[in-house]
Every structure is written in C-alpha cells, then in structure tokens.
Amino acid sequence: MCRKKRGHMDEHKRTCSFCGKVVDKKDSISHFDQDGISCTVCRLCIATGAKIFGMRNLKEDAGENNNGCPGAKDLKILTPKQIFTELEKHVIGQSALNKELAVFAFHHLSRAKRFLDGEDIATLGKKHNLMCVGKSGCGKSWSITQLARIIGVPVSFGDATRLTEMGYVGEDIDDILKGLFSSPKDKLGSVGIVVIDEVDKLVSRGKSEDVTRTGAQQAMLRALDGNQFEIFTTGDKRKSSEKMLIDTRMIPFICLGAFSDMDLCDKKSHQNIGFRRTASDITPQSESHLAQRIIEYGFSEEFINRFDNVHLINSLTVPDMIRILNNPNGGVIRNEVERFKCEGMNLEVKQEAVEAIATKAYAEGMGGARNLYSQLHTILKGVEFEYFGTGKQADVIVYADDVEGIKVRVKEYGNRKKKENGNSAVINQEEIGTAQKSL
C-alpha cells in the first residue's frame, strides 16, 4: 500500500496543514521531509502568523540598517523638558546642571536616532562634548548616573587617575570605549556616552612634569574629535587577535573634575570682606573665563577646545542637603529606613534632627552630600551594633535635643518570633548610649 502524502491532492492543488483549505500551488508553501511527507501552509496562514509574531525575529536578524545598528525604534527620544523633570526628582539643588544635561542628552539622542535610521554620519553635524567642574560631593557622578538611567543608552565610566597614554600600566582610552559594548555584537554601544571622572588628575601638579598625564591628554584628542578606533575585544592585548572598529563620531564625552585647589569663583573687590561678606558677593565664573582658568591649571588648550561647554556646578546649601535627606525618590533617610526595615526595625528621623544633620554636614564642608551618609551612620551605628542580626523588633526615633544635640530613642518590641505569636507588648525603652552624639 502506497503511503499517501499529507497535504497533497494533485499536481496543482494542495491542502493547508493548518486551516485545511484547498489552495493552489502558487498560493502556498510546502516542505517535504525525507519520507516524502509534506507540510503545506497557505498564504492566509502565513499572513496570520506574521501578524501574531510581528515579524520580530525577522527584523532582529535581517532588519539592521547599513550602519549595522539596531532600528531607531529601540531608542526612546525624550524632550529636554522631560529629561529635566526626571533629573529634578533625583538630582537635588542643581537645576542649572540638570538643564545643561537635558539639552546635551537630547542633542545626542536626536543624532543617534537619525544615525540608526540610516542617515549618513557625515550629515549629522558635530557631536557635543561636555566638561563639568564642581567641588567634591556636589553631585557630578550622581547626576550622570541618573542621566544614563533616564535616556537608556550605554554609558561607560572611566577614571582619569588610572588613564595612561598607551595603557601598559592602568587603562587607556580603548579600555573605556570597550566598556560601551556588552559583547562585540552589541551594536547599541556605537551611540553610547563615555564619562571620565577625576579629569583634573590628568594634570601634573608637582615640580616635575608627569609625562604619562600629558600623554593621556594627547591620547584622548582623537576620541574627543571623533575618529575610528580599532580595539581588541579581550582584555589581554598581547594575546588577543579579535578586533572591533569603533567610530567615536557618535560617542560624546563627559568629563568631570573637582579641581579642588583652583578658585572657582570671582570675588567682587568692592564688597565687604571677612564675615560680613554675603553669598551675593561671590559669582560663578563665566564659561570662557572658567575654560581659561582650566588651561592655566595645566591642561593643554587643544584639549579644552574639544569641549563645547564647560559647566560650573554649584556647591550644595543647607536647604539642598535637607532636601537630599528627605527626598522620597531614594533620599538618604529613605534608604536608611529600608535598611532598618529589613532588620525588623522602624526608623523615624524627626525634622529637627534632619535640619541639625544638614547644618553640621554643611559646616564641615567636606564631602558634600556624601557627608550626610557619614553623619547619619555615626548617629545610628550604636543601634546597629546592639540590634542588627538579633531578630528583635523596635521603633528607632532620631530626634534633636536643645542641650545634648542629636539623640536616639529605641522602643523595643522583643523577638521577631514572639511578635508572630501575638506578643507585641513593650518590653523596655532605653537610650542607646553609643548613639547619643551631640552635633
């Protein structure tokens, strides 16, 4: 008995293996296996399947443009106002910086979308590089981290203290560029952003000139201008043979520096001096003046000229620090509350204590926002030492005493297992001596 071929009627008619309709040979696709059994799909079922799956796999495999990058649909374009609004939720007290970053990011996203749509890179105009100058703790690195989260393009962070001319000791520019790519096939890295922190460390401030620092400045010029780099895909450059080509014309640079020993403000000579001088007597330097000061600091003029904007970041004030402590979008206190909650403890910081912590952190003038974490940790470390890991549950209240400064009160509710059994009575209430530190 002959084996009948499924889905086959005669030379010109076929039966769809999915819907069962009889269709012409020209309106269907058939596949025969080694045993001669066929599977036939009609035109309607093909169209239905394509609609269901949205041709996603076909677009991912064959829908790349001439640039070898994913489609522009993968890139979300936000307006400068939208970017600014998101930054304001997380970067406190730096509205001018947030506006600068919002415009910078929109310009880059706009160029990146046109590039991913297949437009010739030569017609996209020049990329913008940005340098941000501000004291330690003012929020330079934090603001860039938040920007990277908002705009959704790869961002590679590099440290200028480890940057050398050729990368034999430390890192070179190739290593930082390679950080944009999770793999050699990760095409989205071609429109990423490179961030170099501690850029002021590229200047030798000693009596003898450090040639590695000067050489690192020179090595960065090609990347800042926008050139093609052929980099190794593995860590060991001496043994690696696999290379990839990176075009930095679509990769803008953001450089961050504290310039701690450089005066960042102009002081009006006609104003009062000493303790009577007010904040209005100190004005930020203009962009051109600031760039000139950075050149005098030790950077080459050709290096600084590669940056379209040199932005001075304001130092934080006491109200700014209070907002950082109370910020509901991941502020210092909220992070501590979540950490205590994981240990079965409820943490509350009274507003008067918040103001006292911010005042002391500002008065010390070291670390900026980072000092807020240090201050709060000093206050709470006694409670952590006594209670963390014990399974006890308690209410922890941080408050300010007019005489003794900031104090901590702990109301204990016993062991976690006892509470589960319904025993929620207050066992004791005590002052944690190691946490009673005055401001």
Would you state the pLDDT for residue 212? 56
Give the separation between CA 422 and CA 439, rounded to whole angstroms.
39
Structure token pair of residue 176: 């930082």
Tell me what pLDDT residue 90 has. Answer: 92
Name residue 415's beta-bridge partners: 392
Q: Give the residues across from 232 on adjacent strands.
A: 243
Q: Which of 160, 45, 48, 130 is nearest to 308 (CA)?
A: 130
For 329, residues 6+ apart whose C-beta sits below 8 A from its C-beta are 89, 90
The answer to whether 384 and 434 are in contact (CB under 8 A) is: no
Q: Give exposure, 220-233, as e/b (b: 16+ Cβ within 10 Å).
A: beebbebeebebbe
Angle at 166 between CA 161 and CA 172, to 5 degrees: 45
CA 220 to chain CA mean position, Å: 22
The β-bridge partners of 406 are 400
Residue 410's DSSP bridge partners are: 396, 430
- The answer to whether residue 33 scores a pLDDT higher than 70 is no
pLDDT at 348: 94
Contacts of 295 (CB under 8 A, 6+ apart): 301, 304
| Residue count of the chain | 439
CA dist 390 and 427 (Å) reads: 15
Average pLDDT over residues 412-427: 46
More confident residue, 331 or 147: 147
User: Any residues with CB less than 8 A from the CB of 222 and at least 6 apart, and which?
Assistant: 229, 248
Q: What is the pLDDT of residue 318?
A: 93
Choice between 379 and 36, residue whose per-residue pLDDT is larger: 379
Our CA angle for 186, 190, 192, nearest 5°, is 100
Which of the four pLDDT bands, split at 50, 70 and 90, describes residue 229? confident
pLDDT band with cut points at 50, 70 and 90 for residue 183: low
Strand partners, 397: 348, 409
Query: Which regions of 296-372 does DSSP assign to beta strands (E)?
Result: 309-312, 345-349
Measured between alpha carbons, how far is 250 from 385 in angstroms, rounded to an integer? 51
Average pLDDT over residues 102-111: 94
pLDDT of residue 64: 42
Gap between the Cα atoms of 200 and 17, Å rounded: 70
Separation in Å, CA 25 to CA 10, 38, 140: 10, 13, 66
Average pLDDT over residues 254-260: 90
- pLDDT for residue 243: 78
pLDDT at residue 264 above 90?
no
Give the span between the Cα atoms of 314 and 268, in whole angstroms: 18
User: How far is CA 274 from each of CA 44, 265, 267, rounded to the nearest angstrom?
Assistant: 85, 16, 12
**Confidence at residue 50, expressed as pLDDT on a 0 to 100 scale:** 62
Q: Tokens for 305?
A: 């000229």
**Number of DSSP helices (H) and strands (E) in the chain, helices first:** 14, 17
- Tell me how far CA of residue 96 lies from CA of 102, 221, 313, in angstroms: 10, 28, 8
Percentage of the chain modeled with pLDDT above 90: 30
Handedness of CA 238, 244, 248, 254 (dihedral sign): negative
Bigger pLDDT: 215 vs 329: 329
For residue 297, give every residue at least 6 positions away whose Cβ sits within 8 Å of its Cβ, in sequence order, or none.
Answer: 200, 203, 259, 262
The amino acid that residue 71 corresponds to is G
The pair of structure tokens assigned to 222 is: 């090609």
3 state DSSP class of 405:
strand
Lowest mean pLDDT among 192-206, 229-243, 245-259, 369-383: 229-243
Q: CB atoms < 10 A from the CB of 218, how many?
A: 12
